[in-house]
Amino acid sequence: MRNVIIARYGEIHLKGNNRHYFEKVLLDNIKQHLSFTDIQVEKISGRYLISNYDISKENSILSKLQKVFGLTSISPAIELKTSKDAIDSYIKSIQLTGTFKIDTTRADKTFPIPSNEYSPYLGGLILANNPTSKVDLHNPNTIINIDIRENSYTYISYNKLQGAGGMPVSTSGKGLLLLSGGIDSPVAGYLMAKRGLTINAIYFHSYPYTSEQAKKKVIDLAKTLTDYTGKIRLFVVPFTKIQEEINALCIPEYLITIMRRFMFKIAEKVAINNDCSCLITGENLAQVASQTVQGITTSNSVLDIVPTFRPLISFDKVEIMRISQKINTFDISNLPYEDCCTVFVPKRPVIKPTVEKAKHEESKIVNAQELIEWAINNIEIIDL
């Protein structure tokens, strides 16, 4: 008998011939998330079994596993060599109060008792030893899962923790997240990682207009995201010269529009140079002045090749904040340091910019290409 953890996956079940690929990636991701301690992981018939770990670290392991995309539920369990005596004996040792239910799955058909007979029998054993407990099949306080597997082992677990869901990170390729210090962009990164993207991030740094603390804040946000996404490569783009040029030459109403177009241009090049097949932004429709359909169209129109995913486009702010709190980025995002978006803020930014007008304003920056190249050549790379 030993303590183990069972981790189950969801959507991967729907995959056909390439299911093994997804299972293999998920296995690797589990290992990476649990690299802080010694463990053994193996795949057993549609689930993963984590064993040979230091029991004092079980809670940490469970908490890490809950952040692995692709897993739908996780249960700490007891592993027994399958035999009626061993199972009965363990069930007799259980002490519980309140209502309970026994749920038996008999994948090993050589086990002589069908599950619909074995569950009530085991329930009787518990009742005999726990006079205050009571069976409730509909809304029990405790569900005891008896999982009799084909590998000649039985797994008994009490509670099922919710997994992060989604698809294993990296099975959908790699995306480049435009990360600011705000609340939205980390959430956007989290949501796309949930759909299997490996996340790289790009941050536009406008020192001395923005502080080193603002940069540290973004690094901290990316680092926090790695709990879910695994390793993140962060590109820090020196953006000051470009912002100064835009501010000096373009009409104030278009400052933010033009700034965003430059960001997208740089992001696309960085994405292509680093095998990222899409951009990810925290953009939302109608949250702030630049987030109109026209605003999004005008900034998006600079992109030639890569698509932009905007997973938050329809979210209410409170919904975004809720996720942000769940993934622990909210408090970091709320730190007061400014990001580059707030350095040169016009009194009246244009609500409905046009591509033509934006291009006209941009044409005033004659050395734009040079500035972009300089910024890209001077990127600082931080691996988190």
Partner 1 sequence: MIYFDNASTTKLDNRLNEVIYKYNNLDYFNPSAPYIKSVYISQDIQTARNNILNALNADSNKIITFTSCATEANNTVLLGQLNKRYKKVLISDGEHKSVYNTINFIKNMGFIVETVKLNANGIVDFEDFKIKMTPDVGLVSFIHVSNETGAINPIKELCNHAKSINPNVIFHSDGVQAFGKIKVNVTDLGVDFYTVSAHKIHGPKGIAALYSKQPIKPFIIGGGQQNDNRSGTENVSGIMALGEIVKYFDIDKNYDYVSKLKEKFITFFNEKENVKINSNSNNSPYIVSISFSGVNGETLVHMLEEKDICISTGSACSSKKANNIALASMGLPTLLIKGNIRISFDTSNTEEEVEILCTELYNAYFNLYNKTNRRQ
Residues in contact with partner 1 by CB under 8 A are 207-209, 211-212, 244, 247-248, 251-252, 336, 338, 342-347
DSSP annotation of 18: T
Least separation in angstroms between residue 359's CB and partner 1 is 19
Which H or E run includes 28?
A: helix 19-33
CB of 185 to partner 1, least distance (A): 18
Closer to partner 1 by CB, 128 or 251: give it. Answer: 251
Q: Least distance in Å: CB of 336 to partner 1?
A: 5
Copy the structure tokens of residue 92: 């007799």
CA dist 179 → 53, 135, 341 (Å): 36, 51, 11
- Residue 242, judged by CB atoms within 10 A of its CB (0-12, 13-18, 19+), counts as buried
Q: Which amino acid is at 177?
A: L
Quote the CA–CA distance of 325 and 341 in Å, as a whole number: 23
Least Å from the CB of residue 348 to partner 1 = 11
Distance CA 104, CA 146 (A): 5
342 burial class (0-12, 13-18, 19+ CB within 10 angstroms)? Answer: middle
Residue among 324, 268, 270, 342 at smallest CA distance from 299: 268
Nearest approach, Cβ of 317 to partner 1 (angstroms)? 16
Nearer to partner 1, 301 or 342 (CB): 342
Closest CA to 10 of 104, 103, 73: 73
Closest CB to partner 1 among 6 and 255?
255
Cβ contacts of residue 138 below 8 Å, gap of 6+?
Answer: none
Query: With the C-alpha atoms ordered 153, 154, 159, 161, is the resulting torsion angle positive or negative?
Result: positive
Which is closer to partner 1, CB of 10 or CB of 346?
A: 346
Q: Is 42 exposed, middle or buried, given 0-12, 13-18 or 19+ CB atoms closer than 10 A?
A: exposed
Nearer to partner 1, 75 or 257 (CB): 257
Nearer to partner 1 by Cβ, of 140 and 252: the residue is 252
Q: Give the nearest distance from C-beta 194 to partner 1 in angstroms.
A: 31
What CA–CA distance (Å, rounded) separates 146 from 118? 10
Nearer to partner 1, 211 or 294 (CB): 211
Please say which residue, 102 or 219, places its beta carbon nearer to partner 1: 219
Reduce the DSSP state of residue 254 to 3 states and report it.
Answer: helix
Residues 285 and 291: beta-carbon distance below 8 Å: yes
Of residues 10 and 252, the one with the C-beta less far from partner 1? 252
Question: Are 78 and 90 contacting, i.e. CB atoms less than 8 angstroms apart?
Answer: yes
Distances (CA, A) of 120 to 183, 268, 294: 50, 61, 64
